[in-house]
Chains A and B, each alone.
Chain A
Amino acid sequence: MAALALLGLAFVVFVAVAYGREPAVAGPEVMLPAIPAAAPDAVPQVTQAVSGTYSRRLSNPNGVSRFMAVLREIEARARPADDARVVARLGTRTPEGTTNVVLALSRVDRSGRLWIKARLPVLPNNTVGWIPRDALGGYNAVNTHLVVSTRKFTATLYRYGKQIFSAPVGVGQSRWPTPAGRYYIRNKLTRYSSPVYGPLAFGTSARSAVLTDWPAGGFVGIHGTNQPGLIPGRISHGCIRLRNADILRLARLMPPGTPLTIF
């Protein structure tokens, strides 16, 4: 129990440190009545130095996170510069045929050219890279965050940091572990032929580090099951399995693009 408590504390501290806030910007110079914003945005206004420029944080798992479509085949780089090392090559479609999206983490303006630091659906897991802004579509916002514990066998969904869903899960067997790290939900699939995945499956940006020769690259899914009696436990090839009623309930609450933390 103490270990679990420490893990929980570490997670909270991590989030608090990683998503601090910058000082508020100057207010309006004209006197007008305060009008409530129609689209509240809880993104912390963090800045951090990046080679003499400033980076704007775009996602906060406890508030608003943003994802963006990949509009053209593009190379993600280690730094926001055309001559920086390539960390991944991105296409416009997922193996399932949906729009390929990346989770936008921060943005930097380098001499008028915008770059987006994004979480990427590539191995090694947890890879991030810089992508030219003009290779990406508009910002799409979500306010949810899914956290999967491979130790407690739970999936918990938060909205603006408040728990709104929890269910037991099955995760990867020890030889095919569900990879720990930070990811996002790439897509939602329904009406497919295989009963193994239950009625609904979410694709994620996480990939098995072991089953690299799995069809389509071994992406980890979050889906239903035809063997609900095995949940909870270490039962899968790396995917996260929920009972069918739970995956359907989760699907009503969690939009694609939602950040995913596995620990």
Chain B
Amino acid sequence: MSEPITLDQVDSDGAIRETMDAVADDSRAGFLKKSMLATGGIVGGAAILGAMASPAHAQTANDVSILNFALTLEYLEAEFYTEAVNMGALRGEVLAFARVVGAHERAHVSFLRKALGSAAVGKPSFNFQGTTENQAKFKATAQVLEDTGVMAYAGQAPLIDTDAVLAAALSVHSVEARHAAWIRHINGAPPAPTAFDKPKTKDQILAAVAGTQFITGAPAMTAAGGSPSFTG
């Protein structure tokens, strides 16, 4: 297997921390305000799941924080697969995997955004550093991302306050586990290596995502002030 992602590096330019602050810091007044705004959104989003989610349960700032954390991970995964398919470097079963899983991840993004409404964090910019443009690198990276996603949902599920949100999270969690098993099978790794999975905390997941350096700042292409020096 070639070039797995290094997960113990640090955020290169702070961009991921900037993004994640909005997710992690649920104690700020602004975030609490967002959570209030999101209450109706979560109810509506949960209703999409029908029998799995009851819109009657109370909503909390904690649940909004967890859903935004999940949304950031889903943005990352959805963009990773979308770009990989568009870049044209994948073939055969790997391409089939990327197409199907990419559609799932985009559906997760859509669901979470709808559930969070105006409290949803924005989509960051990404630089996948060639891992979407080479099949071997893609396969190794996809396994890391899917394993990470499974551990992230497992780590957050016990912390969720509301049954409806918990049901929604579990419905995504099991699909992420299927993705992980699928790419592990493709990679020749054990699809289900242990009888029990060990969840990871939010901080552990954030550190892992930061280590990939996939989340970056967008190019700064506007400026104000000064005087242009164009030929006029």
Q: Which of B95, B127, B128, B225 contacts A192 (CB 8 A)?
A: B225
Q: Which residue of A lies closest to B182 (CB)?
A: A30
Q: Which of B106, B129, B231 contacts A219 (CB 8 A)?
A: B231
Q: Are B231 and A239 in contact (CB-based, < 8 A)?
A: yes
Give the interface SS of chain A, mostly helix, strand, loop or mixed.
loop
Interface with B: A21-29, A73-81, A82-90, A148-156, which one? A21-29
Using a Cβ cutoff of 8 Å, how many contacts connect chains A and B? 154
B94 → chain A, closest Cβ, in Å? 10
Q: Which residue of B lies closest to A34 (CB)?
A: B103
A27 to B78, CA, bound (A): 19
Interface size class of B (residues with CB under 8 A): 35 or more
Q: Are A219 and B230 in contact (CB-based, < 8 A)?
A: yes
Q: Are B107 and A35 in contact (CB-based, < 8 A)?
A: yes
Q: Are A109 and B127 in contact (CB-based, < 8 A)?
A: no
Q: Are A191 and B225 in contact (CB-based, < 8 A)?
A: yes
Q: Are B216 and A29 in contact (CB-based, < 8 A)?
A: no
Say whether A120 faces chain B, with CB atoms less than 8 Å apart: no
Q: Are B231 and A214 in contact (CB-based, < 8 A)?
A: yes
Q: Which of B88, B125, B216 contacts A25 (CB 8 A)?
A: B88
Give the chain A neighbours of B106 by CB distance below 8 A: 35, 37-39
B65 → chain A, closest Cβ, in Å? 24
Give the chain A neighbours of B218 by CB distance below 8 A: 140
Q: Are B228 and A137 in contact (CB-based, < 8 A)?
A: no
Say whether B86 faces chain A, with CB atoms less than 8 Å apart: yes
Q: Which of A32, A176, A193 contacts B227 (CB 8 A)?
A: A193
Say whether A221 faces chain B, with CB atoms less than 8 Å apart: yes
Say whether B1 faces chain A, with CB atoms less than 8 Å apart: no
Interface string of B72-111 (1 = CB under 8 A from A): 0000001000110011110111011001101100110110
Say whether A51 faces chain B, with CB atoms less than 8 Å apart: no
Say whether B194 faces chain A, with CB atoms less than 8 Å apart: no
Known: A97-B223, A192-B227, A219-B229. A28 touches B99 (CB 8 A): yes
A171 to B223, CA, bound (A): 24
A211 → chain B, closest Cβ, in Å? 6
A59 → chain B, closest Cβ, in Å? 12
A243 → chain B, closest Cβ, in Å? 16
Q: Are A191 and B92 in contact (CB-based, < 8 A)?
A: no
Q: Which of A30, A194, A238 contacts B228 (CB 8 A)?
A: A194
Known: A138-B127, A208-B231, A216-B229. A188 touches B92 (CB 8 A): no
Say whether B29 faces chain A, with CB atoms less than 8 Å apart: no
Say whether A69 faces chain B, with CB atoms less than 8 Å apart: yes
Q: Which of A43, A190, A214 contacts B224 (CB 8 A)?
A: A190
Interface size class of A (residues with CB under 8 A): 35 or more
Give the chain A neighbours of B133 by CB distance below 8 A: 56, 107, 109, 114, 133
Interface string of A118-140 (1 = CB under 8 A from B): 00000000000000011001111
Interface string of A88-107 (1 = CB under 8 A from B): 00000001111101000001
Q: Are B221 and A201 in contact (CB-based, < 8 A)?
A: no
Q: Are B83 and A223 in contact (CB-based, < 8 A)?
A: no
Say whether B232 faces chain A, with CB atoms less than 8 Å apart: yes
B143 → chain A, closest Cβ, in Å? 18
Interface string of A152-168 (1 = CB under 8 A from B): 00000000000000000
Known: A39-B82, A138-B125, A140-B125. A238 touches B220 (CB 8 A): no
Residues of B within 8 A of A (CB): 78, 82-83, 86-89, 91-93, 95-96, 99-100, 102-103, 106-107, 109-110, 125-130, 133-134, 136, 216, 218-232
29 interchain pairs (CB within 8 A)?
A28-B95, A29-B92, A30-B96, A35-B106, A37-B102, A67-B219, A69-B219, A96-B226, A98-B219, A98-B223, A99-B220, A109-B89, A112-B136, A114-B130, A187-B221, A192-B228, A196-B232, A197-B228, A203-B228, A203-B230, A214-B229, A214-B231, A219-B230, A220-B231, A236-B231, A236-B232, A237-B231, A239-B230, A257-B221
Having A38-B82, A41-B86, one finds 19 other A-B pairs with CB under 8 Å, namely A35-B107, A96-B229, A98-B221, A133-B133, A137-B127, A140-B125, A176-B231, A187-B221, A188-B221, A188-B222, A189-B223, A208-B231, A215-B229, A216-B230, A218-B231, A219-B229, A239-B231, A239-B232, A256-B222
